Amino acid sequence: MNLANLSPLAVLLPILGAAVAFMLIRHHTAQRMVSIGVLSATLLLECLLLMSVWDGGTTSVTLGGWLPPWGVVLVVDQFSSLMLVVSTVVSLAVLIYATGQGMADGDQEAPVSIFHPTYLILVAGVSNAFLTGDLFNLYVGFEILLTASYVLMTLGGTGPRIRAGVTYVVVSVVSSVLFLVAIAMIYGATGTITMADLAVKLAELDQGTQNLLHVMLLVAFGIKAAVFPLSFWLPDSYPTAPAPVTAVFAGLLTKVGVYAMVRTETLLFPGDTLNVPLMVVALLTMIVGILGALAQSDIKRLLSFTLVSHIGYMVFGLAMSSVAGLGAAVFYVAHHITVQTSLFLVTGLIERRGGSSSMDRLGGLAKLSPLLALLFFIPAMNLAGIPPFSGFLGKLGLLQAGVELGTPLAIVLVVGGVVTSLLTLLAIARVWNRAFWRKPEDAEYPDPVLQTPGSVAVLPRTMVGSTAGLVVFGVALTVFAGPLFRVADGSAGNMLDRSAYIHSVLGDSVQVPPLPRTGDAK
Amino acid sequence: MSINLTLLIVMGVLYACGIYLVLERSLTRVLLGLMLLANATNILILSTGGYAGVAPFFTKETSPEAYSDPLPQALILTSIVISFAVTAFMLGMIYRTWVLARQDEIQDDLEDRRVAETPSFDAEDDAIVPLETSEFAVTTTGPTDQERAEATETPGSLPKKEGGST
């Protein structure tokens, strides 16, 4: 009995939990217990999955009795299980945070009865996207998580949220249509949509067709991952959602896009045919994103722009298609999910304590709430890549890989990465200086909450606790960076080699096609 | 794989109309455009299945070439269901926009407009911060404070605080 046979449960448990939570729509306490319990069980299961593939090795599960290459397969390898564990840790923390917020607010802002089932369906969609070994099932996974995210984005149906939701939904639907067109074309060209089978059969197509399919997939995933110039929708739509929703979106949804890009680049279209355009795009994403962040005065919008900017690092690592670069990118994804989510959660706390998330209105929070300042400071420094933290290690790995590669463009990207890192520090320092260090009176339009010492809004313990837990998890990524990097590099090696993945799905007899090189392509 | 010309032409027309409608500013038209795009894509998937044959697994004796390819049809069924759900949700949102704002248009992001209209001065360095109270006395630009205060007053309608006063 293989442990990986339990992997469908990572998708099924949240869906079942969502059904139960939906039935308990009038019993808020029971609903909370169910959703937190289900997510904890999912996390436990995913930890088991990760342990089973910790030293490498890939296992696949065939669903529904249709053998590959016809049926849907779920593939558990180091990358997918690592992503599963990190994403579920983050979702669990955000769920507890949201529960705390709901209890404290009397659920006016976020109707909790809809929130819990939808949230669990979102988690199921994310797990499905990470696990699946079938291109159309990946589309279905995306749609599950997107549809759930539409609901979460417009929770409460207030004016700004509907406005933001419209942009978000339209952009997401267009990207899904593009993805579906790409799937249809790939099916027309090869007659299969199982990813392992595609890895073999796409290599037989002529280079022009391959490039067309490749670019279509990358554009579809690029919209979801918010890669410049397809990132315009993100800073407009994310900040208006409720704080926990923004946090989980920022952490997970773009990373699912990045995950899909990684699979496209390594499994479906290996080699370096599109590495140069990807690197240019990565550079632009980093620079344009962080310049956008510097112009903002709202913390949530600023963080949304840094989110876009740091996607550039992951694309950079991916574009190098070397074990070192891809390994660093995998590590960076895990780090960034955690850090970005904790920063958004802290911003939710800032909003509660200071009455606003606009830097023009905040001030003096370090004195008013030292714990909040600490909770902001650690992930903020982590995001900026200040030495002992995991952000530094991830960036260092990327830069080292870039220098190792040594092409002029890679060197430019290394420089761009350092500049982006410094500008991130500048953006974060501005938040710190303005919201935390200056006196409340110095704010442009100081919020009255900050100036009346008597009316201290006590932060709910659950919200602070879950945020602190996530911050500690982010620090743990630093402490255990050694083993984590080993897994990341192992997964990168496996993904670039491809044979483990293909053999695990299709059997050992299949010949893995050799990697195309730029020289052959032109 | 044979190609059905009618399907292709229908698909092309649907895509063209869909893209045209998605570029409109009215939400209902955008929704109609998205529906056309989804249906055009469904036809694209259908056409990848090749010519129409008999139902799959008709009898034991039928040769494999006579069957329709069942997989594209399964895919279309899934994508129809998905686009149905999304359409229903979009309709709900459009109705909500109508209830809230009495207009059927995509609205501008106010914060985005505000940031775009902010004059090109750095808020951190050029903001009117009372110099003596700041621990980071980066702005030692006393004489130009007045000019900058004027520059900041133009865009926003909100009253601006005078430098130094509380």
Yes or no, beta carbons of A170 and B111 under 8 Å apart: no
> How far off is chain A from B131, nearest CA to CA, in Å?
10
pLDDT score recorded for residue A510: 79
DSSP structure class, residue A59: E
Q: How far is B144 from chain A (nearest CA, A)?
A: 18
What's the pLDDT score for residue B82?
92
Structure tokens belonging to residue A520? 């052959």
Residues B107-136 have pLDDT tens digits of: 777 777 777 777 766 655 666 655 555 555
Asked whether the CA dihedral A465, A153, B78, A253 is positive or negative, the reply is negative
Q: Which tokens go with A280?
A: 């240019």
Name, in order, each residue with C-beta under 8 angstroms of A227's C-beta and a sequence gap of 6 or more.
A257, A261, A281, A282, A285, A311, A312, A315
- Contact by Cβ (8 Å): A229, A337: no
SS3 A111: coil
* Residues 193-232 in A contacting B (C-alpha not used; CB under 8 Å): 193
Residues in B 8-67 with any Cβ partner in A closer than 8 A: 22, 27, 30, 34, 37-38, 41, 44-45, 47-48
**Total H helices, total E strands in chain A:** 23, 2
Which phi and psi angles does A471 have, rounded to 5°?
-65, -40
Q: Among A157, A166, A180, whose Cβ lies nearest the Cβ of B106?
A: A166
Residue A258: the pLDDT is 93
Residue with more model confidence, B52 or B102: B102
Measured CA to CA, the distance from residue A226 to residue A232 in angstroms comes to: 8
Q: pLDDT for B2-52, tens place per residue?
A: 677 888 999 999 999 999 999 988 889 999 999 999 999 999 998 887 777
State how far the Cα of A94 lies from the Cα of A252, in Å rounded to an integer. Answer: 11
Instruction: Please tell me the distance from the alpha carbon of residue A391 to that of residue A381, in angstroms, as a whole number.
Output: 8
CB A142 within 8 A of CB A256: yes
Beta bridge mates, A73 = A62
8 Å CB contact of A181 and B86: no
A164 contacts on B by Cβ (under 8 Å): 109
Kindly report the nearest CA distance between residue A188 and chain B, in angstroms.
5
A-contacting residues of B 112-151, CB under 8 Å? 112, 115, 118, 123-124, 127, 129-130, 133-136
User: Is it true that the peptide bond before A514 is cis, omega within 30 degrees of 0?
Assistant: no
How large is the ipTM? 0.85
Q: Give the C-alpha separation, A489 to A57, whole Å.
A: 13
Kindly give, in sequence order, each residue whose CB lies less than 8 Å from that of residue A333, ignoring residues fewer than 6 positions away: A83, A86, A255, A258, A259, A314
A445:B34 CB<8 A: no
Contact B107 A173 (CB under 8 A): no
Q: Splitting chain A (522 residues) into consecutive groups of 10 residues, what average pLDDT does each group show?
A: 80 92 84 91 91 83 81 89 92 90 60 81 94 92 93 84 88 93 92 88 88 92 90 86 89 92 89 86 92 88 92 91 90 93 91 81 80 90 88 90 89 92 91 85 74 66 89 91 89 86 83 64 36
Which pLDDT band, with edges at 50, 70 and 90, does B76 fall under?
A: very high
Contact A169 B90 (CB under 8 A): yes
Tell me the average pLDDT of chain A.
87
pLDDT value, residue B131: 56
Whole-angstrom distance, CA of residue A354 vs CA of residue A305: 22
Distance set, CA A224 to CA A14, A132, A148, A281, A310 (Å):
22, 17, 15, 15, 14
Nearest CB to A136 within list B75, B100, B127 = B75
Cα separations in angstroms, B74 against A113, A367, B68: 34, 61, 12
Tell me the chain A residues in contact with residue B115 when contact means C-beta distances shorter than 8 Å: 295-297, 301
Q: Do A164 and B89 touch (CB under 8 A)?
A: no
Flag if B71 and A193 touch (Cβ within 8 Å): yes
What are residue A457's phi and psi, to 5 degrees?
-75, 115
| CB-CB neighbors (< 8 A) of A154 in chain B | 93, 96
> What percentage of chain B exceeds 90 in pLDDT?
30
Q: Identify the CA nearest to A372 among candidates A312, A454, A448, A456.
A: A456
Distance of CA A286 to the CA centre of its chain: 16
Sign for the CA dihedral angle at A91, A156, B38, A311 comes to negative
pLDDT for res B163: 44
Minimum distance, in Å, between the CA of residue B48 and any CA atom of chain A: 5
Other beta carbons less than 10 A from residue A295's beta carbon: 16
Kindly give the interhelix angle for A135-153 and B70-101, rounded to the nearest 10 degrees: 10
Size of interface A-B (CB pairs under 8 A): 115
Say what the pLDDT of residue A521 is: 39
List the 426-445 stretch of A: residues with Cβ below 8 A of B: 430, 433-434, 437-439, 441-442, 444-445
Which residue in A334, A336, A316, A284 sits closest to A403, CA to CA?
A316
pTM confidence score? 0.87
Type and span of the H or E element at B44: helix B27-48
CA distance B85 to chain A (A): 8
Interface test with B, best of A163, A197, A426 (most B CBs within 10 A): A163
- pLDDT of res. B164: 43
Are residues B105 and B29 in contact, defined by beta-carbon separation less than 8 angstroms?
A: no
